[in-house]
Structure 1
Amino acid sequence: MIPAEGTSVRDQPPALARTLGYAGLLPQAAVVLVLGFGPAWWRFSALSLGYAYPALILSFVGGMWWGLAARSDRPPAWVWVAAVAPSLVALATAAPWAIGAAWPAPSLIVLGASLLGSLLVDRRLVADGLAPAWWMSLRLPLSVGLGLLTLASAVFG
């Protein structure tokens, strides 16, 4: 791919990362379609998968942040804390299901909002030089996409 005028190859995410990242939106998009238009007997499975997938991805995002911190000689302490928080949030959203409380809409809302909020950490990682220059060009559409699809699954669920 030829970079846009005024940008360099270093400003662009690797093509494979971009392709796989966007492909990662497909499972949640399928969930929303099933919830909106699928048969009633698929709803519980769709909701379960529609909860599990963003919870896993949120944990994965924290793992990426941990990896960025680990490759730095002197990462700020906040990065380690931020890197652990997504897994704890994902785990906490499982509690309502585990105890029979209202689920899944509240958990989906927390996960969707957390994915959207993760962009604040991503932006800071770039500003602090811990993430590559192209980081936000990939993280923005992926976090917004999965965050909004997760919120949509709460609405349709």
Structure 2
Amino acid sequence: MTGRLWRQRPIPHIDGGLRMPPIAKWLGYAGLLPQLWALTVLLVGNPESRFTALALGYAYAALILSFLGGMWWGLAAQARAVIPAWVWGAAIAPSLIALASTLPWAVGARWPGPSLALLGGSLLASLAVDYSLAAAGLCPNWWLKLRVPLSVGLGGLTLWIGYFA
């Protein structure tokens, strides 16, 4: 079974990358579910589950922010043009921000509210990079159609979780 999975053909971009692959859309939107779960637990869940919801909401936001930087790096790495230097710096910034968001927890300061605010705000601010990548022609035509609702959704949900921290 495992060998067969490796021999599967890749899913081609529809219309040469002009239209969003349906799997990107569905998996992208499914990526909002962990934050929705954490927020739901905070709003209506058992008080004993509160810390778990906060911790998982924080961890998921940090992971996705780092993943976003990896996507930007990948877009730059596959480009067939001269890449502006800012792209490489922007691509590593999300991981550094996610790491910096652990500092309050590591030193025993107030956590996770400020860290969730940093991560949520960074997810919203990431749209500036996405728009710049699109303007530079470094991403597929459908990129912003997916990135805008996902960044607003995940950033907003993360800020709401931080509000209840």
Q: Tell me which residue corresponds to 2:30.
A: 23
Taking structure 1 as the reference length, what is the TM-score of the superposition?
0.93
Query: Is the 1:69–1:80 contact (alpha carbons within 8 Å) kept by the matching residues of 2?
Result: yes
Identical columns (%)? 61
- Of 46, 51, 62, the match for 2:53: 46
RMSD of aligned alpha carbons = 1.2
**Cα distance in 2 for residues equivalent to 1:33 and 1:76:** 41
Question: C-alpha displacement at 1:156, in angstroms?
Answer: 1.8
The within-5 A match list for 1:130-149 is 130-149=138-157
Pair 1:64-2:71 in alignment:
yes
Q: Which runs of 4+ in 1 moved over 3 A?
A: 8-11
Opposite residue 19 of structure 1, the aligned amino acid is W
Q: Tell me which residue corresponds to 1:114.
A: 122
Q: Tell me which residue corresponds to 1:82.
A: 90
Q: Which runs of 5+ in 2 are unaligned?
A: 1-13
**Cα distance in 2 for residues equivalent to 1:101 and 1:11:** 47
Question: C-alpha displacement at 1:16, in angstroms?
Answer: 0.1
Taking structure 2 as the reference length, what is the TM-score of the superposition?
0.88
Question: C-alpha displacement at 1:72, in angstroms?
Answer: 1.7
Q: Which runs of 5+ in 1 are unaligned?
A: 1-7
Question: C-alpha displacement at 1:103, in angstroms?
Answer: 0.6
Query: Is the 1:12–1:137 contact (alpha carbons within 8 Å) kept by the matching residues of 2?
Result: no
**Cα distance in 1 for residues equivalent to 2:164 and 2:75:** 36
Deviations 1:116-138 (A, max 9, x none): 00000000001100011110000
Question: C-alpha displacement at 1:13, in angstroms?
Answer: 1.3
